[in-house]
Amino acid sequence: MDRRLALITLISAAAVLGCRPRAESVRPTIAVIPKGQVHIFWQTVRAGAQAAAEGAGVEMVWAAPQVETDFAGQVSIVEDFINRGVSAIVIAPSHQNALVSVVERAIAAGIPVVVMDSALASDRPASYVATDNRLGGVLAAREMGRLLGGRGKVAVVGIAPGTGSGLEREEGFTQTLQKEFPAVTFVGLQYCDSDPSRALAVAEDFLTAQPDLAGMFGSADPPAAGILRAVQSRGKKGQVKIVGFDASPLLLEALRDGTVDALVVQNPFRIGHDAMAAAVSAVMKKPVEKRIDTGVAVVTRENLETPDVRKILGAGGRPPTGGG
């Protein structure tokens, strides 16, 4: 009887062990959490991240809040991935401070984190992969100053309070204007919460309050799109210079027809690709660069069709995009 019981126990144990997946057969899972999922920008980031994940043989999972100002929603998504025990997290923080605690909690749990697109107020993540957003703002200001001949009134429509990428672009723009173009008058910055309809209302308010407004800067695709529509609806094409950030099809068409005067562009495919590659390296315990700059350039009607600009806009063969 004892012999039979021992045999049954041995067979049961072997069956259980046989059902367990081998550790080496389980692929690392890397979670990617953008600010939102509405803009084409994030879909291009996703394509870049997916390409890098497939090349490295890892599994990518993608989750995002419905709107880019849902900080609590983004925190909740990170918490869920911590509980699921993913191998690494790539995140574009909607707010540079609101996400610090949960990101550092993930790192403390042994999950490497790579920050992309917008800065986080922490030095704990393995890497920060993004455009040099401050430089983008500087370039936008210099282009605006050139377009205005160094004088006139200028307003800014920003993304949202606390958004790292926007803050850097907006500060780079305003500080450069004040330093390099003293005859340009900065009349104000208002946020649109990454909503083109809100951006339209903000831009119209500026045009009403400042009838002699000479230029407006939109620090991402939604604010730039709102500015564009406000200028079109007021019949002020050519009277108000527009410098935008990002290159959506809408903004590129307006650049071609002369309503938009310049765009500062980035490469969202590369942002997603390089962020995923950095996360894979972190999982594999390989060295990771602390800061990866994915590039920025000014696009005008004059250089729009040049090979270098077409390469940036094509994002490695992908369609031009805006957002972020």
Q: 196-215: per-residue pLDDT in tens?
A: 999 999 999 999 999 999 99
pLDDT bucket at 312, cuts 50 / 70 / 90: confident
**Exposed/middle/buried for residue 234 (C-beta within 10 Å: 0-12, 13-18, 19+):** middle
Q: How confident is the model at residue 324 (pLDDT cuts 50, 70, 90)?
A: low
**Edge-to-edge strand ranges of the sheet holding 59-62:** 59-62, 29-33, 88-91, 113-116, 127-130, 291-293
Per-residue confidence band for 39, with pLDDT thresholds at 50, 70 and 90: confident
Give the least confident one: 106-110, 143-147, 266-270, 320-324: 320-324
Between CA 204 and CA 156 the distance in angstroms is 12
Q: Label residue 37 by pLDDT band (50, 70, 90).
A: confident
Q: What is the mean pLDDT of residues 143-148?
A: 98
DSSP state, 194? Answer: T
Comparing 314 with 143, the larger pLDDT belongs to 143
Candidates 3.40.50.2300, 3.40.50.1000, 3.10.20.30, 3.30.70.580; correct CATH number of 133-265?
A: 3.40.50.2300
Angle among Cα 266, 268, 269 to the nearest 5 degrees reads: 130
Per-chain mean pLDDT for the chain? 90
Instruction: State the angle between helix axes of 221-233 and 196-209 in degrees (0 to 180), rounded to the nearest 10.
Output: 50
Q: Would you say residue 300 has pLDDT above 50?
A: yes
Q: How confident is the model at residue 310 (pLDDT cuts 50, 70, 90)?
A: confident
Residues 87 and 77 sit within 8 Å (Cβ to Cβ): no
- Tokens at 87, concatenated: 């191998």
For the chain, residues classed under CATH 3.40.50.2300 are 26-131+267-293, 133-265
Residue from 125, 76, 80, 78 nearest 279 by CA: 125
**For the chain, counts of helices (H) and of strands (E):** 11, 12
CATH of domain 26-131+267-293: 3.40.50.2300
Asked if residue 323 has pLDDT above 60, the reply is: no
pLDDT for 83 equals 98
How does strand 59-62 pair with strand 152-158?
A: unpaired
Q: pLDDT class for 311, splitting at 50, 70, 90?
A: confident
Alpha helix positions (H), 71-195:
71-84, 100-108, 133-147, 164-180
**Tokens linked to 82:** 């911590």
Q: What pTM was computed for the model?
A: 0.85
In this structure, are residues 224 and 194 in contact, taking their beta carbons and an 8 Å threshold? no
The beta strands (E) that lie in 176-254 are given as: 184-191, 213-218, 241-245
Whether the per-residue pLDDT at 260 is higher than 80: the answer is yes
Residue 288 CA to chain centroid, in angstroms?
Answer: 20
How far is Cα 239 from Cα 242, in angstroms, rounded to an integer? 10
Tell me the C-alpha distance between 36 and 17, whole Å: 42
Q: State pLDDT tens for residues 83-103.
A: 999 999 999 999 999 999 999
Query: What residues does 155 pair with on adjacent strands?
Result: 188, 216
Closest CA to 260 of 305, 295, 222, 215: 215
Q: Given a cut of 80, is residue 297 above it in pLDDT?
A: yes
List beta partners, residue 127. Answer: 114
Amino acid at residue number 95:
H
